[in-house]
Amino acid sequence: MIGLEGRQTAVIDLVADGPHAVVAGVTGSGKSELLITWILALCRTHSTKQVTFLLADFKGGTAFDALAAVPHVTGVITDLDGAGARRAIESLRAEVRWREGELAAVGARDILDPRVALPRLVVFVDEFAALLGDHPELHAVFADVAARGRALGIHLVLGTQRAAGVIRDSLLANCPLRISLRVTDAADSRSLIGTDEAALLPGGADGRGHALLRRASDARPRPVRIALSDAFDVEAAVARGGDERPRRPWLPGLSDRLSLPELSELAGSAVNGDAILVGLADEPNLQRQRAATLRIEDRGLLVLGGPGAGLTNTVALAVAQAPAALVRVPAAPEPMWDAIAALAADPPPPRTLVCIDDLDAVAMRLPPEHAQVALERIEELLRRAGSDGVLVVASAHRLAGGVARIADLFPKRLLLPFPTRTEHIAAGGDPTAFEAGAPPGRGALDGVALQVALAPRRPSDAPDPALDWYPSAPLTAFATRRSPAARAALAEWERRGIRSVSVDGYAADPAVTADGPVVVVGEPDDWQRHWRLLADARGDHDLVVDTSCAAEFRLLTGSRVLPPYCESGRGRAWLISAGADAVRIVLPSVQVRPDRPRAWP
């Protein structure tokens, strides 16, 4: 019962006259009041075991506020919660499959079979056009439900300001029950009820609640005056429903915070072996939430996201669950270079987890030549990951430069929140899945939404103290531009009894080595003037090249191999011992004794 038809009660039967309905009317015509009256009328005559409702309000989020406490209502979704609304509507697909399974379990063809104990589910949508405007991909969901809903006991009541051009013919054909309040365009009236009459209804307050009802069996639309409901009707519906809440057709949303122990408990025995737990995956189209995992066989995972999105936490989560061997590539430039070089020189054993946090740093924190070689080595590591039995987990903020080149080598990709939709799309994300203001750790793994678990707290890794290097050979050649670090090193070596002499001085008197170890010091130009002495030093003795001479490294050493990366200004140098490959060393600084201040030679 929705109102009066002349002096008679206007009664509609959604099962017999439907199974689906369309309600049209301009703003102020009384469309929302009609939907509320219809819902409350069904609540007063049916229990929660007979009928339940899913309400969608896309005209501001307040139309169905008064019905939130009605037991029949399984949920209210609004345009204020875009991701939640999309998720709830997608759950209807799973509801269709679940109901099909329930019917098949008892051998029934439809919900009318007495062996079936399912309540009918009626989905009321206020402003269907606005819903499709926000989520156009959901039209296919409604079309699917409309086609199969009759036998399964799922009904649609779609409210809209105009039906023409909004509701496609395939969906409209499955909605034989039509109600039109006042519309402004005669074409809208004809497309819905077959005549122009809805466009002729009075406007303003006098026309509010006047509607035209047309069932499939009606030759012409029938005028109806819609009844208004009030708080007493809501109270009656609450009392009729009782305390028993019906089954909800979708699961609760993902939590913003999820610890690793909580995720492990949720996963239970479904996850075993050396699987790495990543987060809780949400699959509303299957009405299921499950643990998302990584395995060595997955070969690689690239984590992309904006600032504060949880990239470092995701990598740390993998580190905390390393299945066997673990290689962490540090963010600091020098140890980063060393770790990548070690992976290239000595491939890791099978079942090794390699973690690279902030892959962007490889290109940003290393000089171009070193960055190119490092990225090439990472690329080769990824290409061999399958045959070597290695899993590589890396994070980056954007796909640019060298990162873009190797991104496609990662079989799996996890997208965490980005500040803007443009950045989300640039990283390969689905435009419709962008969620503004998403919490850290909320993302999509291979297109499936999930919440990444929080990594366990662990002590921060203190860097290994680098040992100062001191000359031990009788002769050490030192190429430097006499930087502050070089002067401090020479002063400290002198304090240890290791003498220094210029290149010209040693060329004039090579016998100075008879009195103990000697460091022969000169700038690149000095060494080039004494080319034979330089050749002897790098072939038979120790040659130290200060980072101030990085541009002349190949000229001085004759090596075509890129040396280890050294940060400038930190007292670093390269050592070539008797023609071997260059290694990084740390030059000592002047030790300050209590009885005297620091002094420079």
Q: What is the mean pLDDT of the chain?
A: 85
What integer pLDDT is reported at residue 69 of this predicted model? Answer: 80
Do 349 and 232 share a structural domain? no
Structure tokens that stand for 363 in this block: 């290109």
H or E segment and range at residue 140: helix 139-152
What integer pLDDT is reported at residue 592 of this predicted model? Answer: 40
Is residue 595 scored above 60 in pLDDT?
no
Q: Render 185-246 in DSSP notation, one character per residue.
A: -HHHHHHHHSSSGGGGS--HHHHTTEEEEE-TT-SS-EEEEEPP--HHHHHHHHHHH-SPPP
Do 303 and 167 share a structural domain? no
Burial status of residue 104 (CB atoms within 10 A of its CB: 0-12, 13-18, 19 or more): exposed
What integer pLDDT is reported at residue 242 of this predicted model? Answer: 63
What integer pLDDT is reported at residue 483 of this predicted model? Answer: 82
**Four-residue CA torsion sign, 244, 248, 251, 254:** negative
Proportion of the chain above pLDDT 70, given as a percent: 93
What integer pLDDT is reported at residue 600 of this predicted model? Answer: 32
Q: Contact 99/249 with Cβ under 8 angstroms?
A: no
Of 186, 211, 241, which residue is a domain's last? 241
Which pLDDT tens digit goes with each residue over 412-442?
999 999 999 999 999 988 887 888 888 999 9
Do 151 and 45 share a structural domain? yes
**Identity of residue 80:** L
Cα angle for residues 590, 592, 593 (degrees, 5° grid): 130
Do 175 and 298 share a structural domain? no
Residue with more model confidence, 406 or 234: 406
Q: Tell me the CA distances in angstroms from 132 to 30, 119, 437, 447, one per residue in order.
A: 21, 27, 22, 21
The average pLDDT across 482-493 equals 88
Do 426 and 494 share a structural domain? no
Is 247 inside a domain boundary? no
Alpha helices by DSSP H, listed for 457-595, are 484-495, 503-508, 524-529, 531-540, 553-557
Alpha helices by DSSP H, listed for 286-332, are 311-320
Is residue 238 scored above 90 in pLDDT?
no
Q: Contact 378/403 with Cβ under 8 angstroms?
A: no
The average pLDDT across 569-575 equals 88
Q: Contact 85/131 with Cβ under 8 angstroms?
A: yes
What integer pLDDT is reported at residue 522 of this predicted model? Answer: 93
What integer pLDDT is reported at residue 525 of this predicted model? Answer: 93
Number of domains in the chain: 3
**Four-residue CA torsion sign, 399, 403, 408, 414:** negative
Measured CA to CA, the distance from residue 98 to residue 119 in angstroms comes to 13
**Identity of residue 438:** A
What integer pLDDT is reported at residue 390 of this predicted model? Answer: 94
CATH of the domain at 41: 3.40.50.300
Residues paired with residue 276 on neighbouring β-strands, in sequence order: 294
Residue with more model confidence, 552 or 323: 552
Is residue 580 scored above 90 in pLDDT?
no
Measured CA to CA, the distance from residue 431 to residue 251 in angstroms comes to 24
Is 360 inside a domain boundary? yes
Is residue 211 scored above 50 in pLDDT?
yes
Do 8 and 96 share a structural domain? yes
What integer pLDDT is reported at residue 398 of this predicted model? Answer: 86
Give the distance between the most distant pair of CA atoms in the chain.
127
Do 399 and 339 share a structural domain? yes
The CA-based dihedral angle spanning residues 368, 374, 380, 381, taken in that order and rounded to the nearest 10 degrees: -150
Q: How confident is the model at residue 458 (pLDDT cuts 50, 70, 90)?
A: low
Do 224 and 270 share a structural domain? no
Is 28 inside a domain boundary? yes
Is 265 inside a domain boundary? yes
CB 584: neighbour CB atoms within 10 A? 19
What integer pLDDT is reported at residue 60 of this predicted model? Answer: 66
The average pLDDT across 126-145 equals 83
H or E segment and range at residue 145: helix 139-152
Is 593 inside a domain boundary? no
What integer pLDDT is reported at residue 243 of this predicted model? Answer: 64
What integer pLDDT is reported at residue 594 of this predicted model? Answer: 40
Residue with more model confidence, 521 or 284: 521
Which pLDDT tens digit goes with each residue over 325-364?
999 998 888 889 999 999 998 889 999 999 999 888 888 8
What integer pLDDT is reported at residue 354 of this predicted model? Answer: 95
- Nearest 5°: phi and psi at 317? -65, -40
Do 104 and 8 share a structural domain? yes
Measured CA to CA, the distance from residue 359 to residue 399 in angstroms comes to 10
What integer pLDDT is reported at residue 593 of this predicted model? Answer: 40
Between 333-345 and 368-388, two packed helices, what is the crossing angle to 10 degrees?
Answer: 40
Do 362 and 312 share a structural domain? yes
Q: How confident is the model at residue 466 (pLDDT cuts 50, 70, 90)?
A: low
Of 191, 211, 241, which residue is a domain's last? 241
Least confident of 45-54, 216-225, 256-265, 267-276: 267-276
Alpha helices by DSSP H, listed for 270-400, are 311-320, 333-345, 360-365, 368-388
What integer pLDDT is reported at residue 135 of this predicted model? Answer: 77
Strand residue runs (E) in 79-176: 120-126, 154-160
Is 594 inside a domain boundary? no
Q: How many residues does the chain have?
A: 601
Q: Whose structure tokens read 């969901």?
A: 141
What integer pLDDT is reported at residue 561 of this predicted model? Answer: 85
Measured CA to CA, the distance from residue 521 to residue 509 in angstroms comes to 14
Do 434 and 290 share a structural domain? yes
Of 391, 421, 452, which residue is a domain's last? 452
What integer pLDDT is reported at residue 218 of this predicted model? Answer: 84
Is 597 inside a domain boundary? no
| Domain span holding position 28 | 3-241
Residue with more model confidence, 244 or 169: 169
Q: Tell me the CA distances in angstroms from 92 to 84, 152, 204, 448, one per residue in order.
A: 13, 12, 37, 17
Do 44 and 190 share a structural domain? yes
Which pLDDT tens digit goes with each residue over 355-403?
999 888 888 888 889 999 999 999 999 999 999 999 999 999 988 888 8
The average pLDDT across 169-196 equals 87
Is 278 inside a domain boundary? yes
Residue with more model confidence, 88 or 106: 106
